[in-house]
Amino acid sequence: MINSKLVQLLKAFSAKDIRKFREFVSSPYFNKNNQLTDLCEFICNTYPKLPEESLEKRATFKALFPGESFKDTKIRNLMSDLLKLLEEFLAIQDFTEEPLNKSLRLLNALNSRNLYKHFDSYTGLVKNIQEKSPHRDGDFFLNQFQLEVSNNLFFEKQQKRVNGTNLQQITDNLDLFYLTNKLKFCCEIFNYKNVVSTEYKVFLLDEILSYLKKHSYEHIPAVHIYYQILMTLTESEDESHFESLKQMLEKNSNKFSAREARDMYAYAQNYCIKKINSGHSNYLNEIFNLYKELLTKEIILEDRLISPWHFKNIVTTALRLEEFDWVENFIRQYQNNLSKEFRENAVNYNIAALHFFRKEYSSALKLLQKVDFTDIYYHLDSKSMLLKTYFELEEHDGLFSLFDTFKIYLRRNKLISDYQKTVYLNLVKYTKKLVKIKTGFPTAKKVKDLNDQIKETKQVADLNWLIKKVEDTEASLTHAVT
């Protein structure tokens, strides 16, 4: 079978990519071997399916060389050469899609050929491209550095030193490129260290941080934002870093690509989540405001789509703040921005969540029974909400049936992490104990003992809900006694 790297790469191509690749291979500038052109056409004619049976080596050889006996080496060499052309095509495509890359390379070519008039006039065009760029990220400073280096070489050749040199601009932009990327990747390192215990040697970080604490870089958002992100990771108790980060993102997120801005906001959101988990409930409102900013600026959308996980997180955050009308409007406004693959289930789940928080349990139950997720985390949250809904409705038959099926799912599914299994199994375990107490012979001691067990365990999904249900039961027993 031609289950090769060549075919695997082509399977990732769009129809437009295939058309351009065929043109590329047909160009005598890039390829003078007609056999490679024939092989390319034969394979591309089977796109988009690229079926293995049609691309079996013997079948391919027979189509390219009718009447000739099969030679494995010959077909393998052709495939290898076509793969090299494909890799060259990908590199050139990536290069040409960034106009400034071409422009900077052209400046170098003009300079090396001593075409000074052309260089001089074209430099103005390149500067104009840079100035019009909306982004002021690490790539911007790298491009500016490369442009200044080209200009410096031009000045040296021309022996023009009007108003001195541009060495200051060269070193300034090099420093900004380095600082931006150094801080950016240090943020990734410290964020990763919070998840996995791994040690890294980070050269010069202490010196850089010492310098930045003494010298403000608020006028360079890329440096200042990553500095503040790093501070939220390393000095999390000092909330002023988050406040500064929040203000910088609000004013300067448009200076970065949507992808980079999303990553920056994600750091701010993660900080809020840690604060909420440590008891600072006021940060729930902070994360909600960050989500609203992401929506207003459309940063959260990728190709006009919102991920079902962002969708759920936004709804859950707003519901915890009892922003019920806002949630209703959000679902209505953004449901068509969900991909068709997830839309129906995601909408049903999140409307069910809205009904649940409004204590409209029967309406929630009807929608939850329609939800069928292949995504693990949506599935877990859906089953958890269904469990709570059955409990609130006192639908004990459905609840005990769910206890059994949910436990089986958790124990058999190998994709669920050990931690997730533990917290959801504990939710089932303690909810089941609570129901048995309520439907048997409840006593204050039994309920108090259960409450103590839950608080000691801590690792329970929907812990706050469960504790409240236990405390409500305890209160009802106390009231009954008095």
**Digit-coded pLDDT (tens) for 88-132:** 999 999 998 888 888 999 999 999 999 989 998 999 999 999 999
User: Could you say which of 369, 400, 420 is where a domain stops?
Assistant: 369
**What local confidence, expressed as pLDDT, does residue 161 receive?**
56
In a domain, 108, yes or no: no
Answer for the pair 35, 17: CB distance below 8 angstroms, yes or no: no
Q: Are residues 360 and 393 in the same domain?
A: no
CA distances from 75 to 49, 71, 425, 471 (A): 21, 7, 56, 74
Q: Are residues 141 and 272 in the same domain?
A: yes
**What local confidence, expressed as pLDDT, does residue 481 receive?**
53
- Domain residue limits at 404: 373-482
**What local confidence, expressed as pLDDT, does residue 64 receive?**
94
Answer for the pair 365, 356: CB distance below 8 angstroms, yes or no: no
Which regions of the chain are under pLDDT 70?
Answer: 1-3, 160-164, 479-482
In a domain, 27, yes or no: yes
In a domain, 120, yes or no: no
**What local confidence, expressed as pLDDT, does residue 156 receive?**
85
**What local confidence, expressed as pLDDT, does residue 441 receive?**
87
In a domain, 118, yes or no: no
The 8-class DSSP code of residue 336 comes to G
For residue 258, count other CB atoms closer than 10 A to its CB: 16
Q: Are residues 159 and 269 in the same domain?
A: yes
Answer for the pair 146, 100: CB distance below 8 angstroms, yes or no: no
User: Could you say which of 318, 335, 369 is where a domain stops?
Assistant: 369
Global pTM?
A: 0.87
Q: Are residues 438 and 478 in the same domain?
A: yes
In a domain, 115, yes or no: no
Q: Are residues 173 and 205 in the same domain?
A: yes
Q: Are residues 359 and 390 in the same domain?
A: no
> What span, in angstroms and rounded, lies between the C-alpha atoms of 105 and 107?
5
Q: Are residues 137 and 249 in the same domain?
A: yes
Residue with tokens 């909420």: 276
**What local confidence, expressed as pLDDT, does residue 97 receive?**
87
**What local confidence, expressed as pLDDT, does residue 197 receive?**
72
Q: Are residues 389 and 350 in the same domain?
A: no
**What local confidence, expressed as pLDDT, does residue 1 receive?**
46
In a domain, 338, yes or no: yes
Q: Are residues 387 and 364 in the same domain?
A: no
In a domain, 19, yes or no: yes
Tokens, residue 411: 């124990």
**What local confidence, expressed as pLDDT, does residue 338 receive?**
98
Domains: count for the chain: 4
